[in-house]
Amino acid sequence: MKRSKNNLNIFTETYMKYYPQILSLILLKINDIEDARDLCQEVFIIFYEKCDSIYNIRPWLCGTMKNVLYRYYASKNQDVDIDKLFNSPELAFTNGFRDTRIIINEAIDHTGCDDEERIIFDLIARHNFSYENAARILGYTRRQVEYKYTQLVKGVLAYLKKKGITDIKELL
């Protein structure tokens, strides 16, 4: 199980960036902090073994998290429905607001942000992390995070405008 030093560096940096987001998502699904930590560790152990062959880290981590969670639920209840389980914007879109949610998620994906900006957006917009906590996670100052988040919001609104939604209040 020995990895090269470069892989170890990539793994550690990825872990430090994505751990809060992955743990938050798992915690929201199972509501047990100890189990959530174990499952999160499982996700990152799999990542550690395969990190040299992964290019899109974020989708890969979300997919692996889904599999790990599915196995966890399956071990407790044999009749688990994966689609019902992952009725979240991160993994599936199956409720009444489907179209609007797809547009909003498209807007988020098309803001042209890098990995760290996407983490900032997910932490603040999706998981309600404070600017201070997001800054602590990513090693920025509060002002930097606030500025980046504001720019990302601008990007999302610009995309929605392009799609014909001139005023965001139309969607409310």
Residues 71-100 that bind other proteins (CB under 8 A): 88-89, 95, 97, 100
Total interface residues for other proteins by CB under 8 A: 58
Query: Can you give 97-149 as a three-state secondary structure string?
Result: CHHHHHHHHHHHHCCCCCHHHHHHHHHHHHCCCCHHHHHHHHCCCHHHHHHHH
Report the nearest approach of other proteins to the CB of residue 153 (Å): 5
**Residues 104-133 as x/- pattern, contact with other proteins by CB under 8 A:** xx-------------------xxxxxx--x
Quote the tokens at residue 132: 């201070």
Distance CA(17)–CA(7), nearest Å, equals 15
Name the segment binding other proteins (CB under 8 A); options: 20-28, 60-68, 70-78.
20-28
Exposed/middle/buried for residue 66 (C-beta within 10 Å: 0-12, 13-18, 19+): buried
Give the nearer residue to other proteins in terms of CB position, either 113 or 137: 137
CA distances from 5 to 10, 50, 57, 124 (A): 9, 14, 19, 33
Closer CB to other proteins, residue 80 or residue 153? Answer: 153
Distance CA 61, CA 137 (A): 18
Of the two residues 78 and 164, which places its CB atom closer to other proteins in the complex?
A: 164
What is the Cα Rg of the chain in Å?
Answer: 17
Footprint on this chain of other proteins (rule: CB under 8 A):
1-3, 8-9, 11-13, 15-16, 19-20, 23-25, 27-28, 33, 37, 40-41, 44-45, 48-49, 88-89, 95, 97, 100-101, 104-105, 125-130, 133, 135-141, 144, 149-150, 153-154, 156-157, 168-169, 171-172
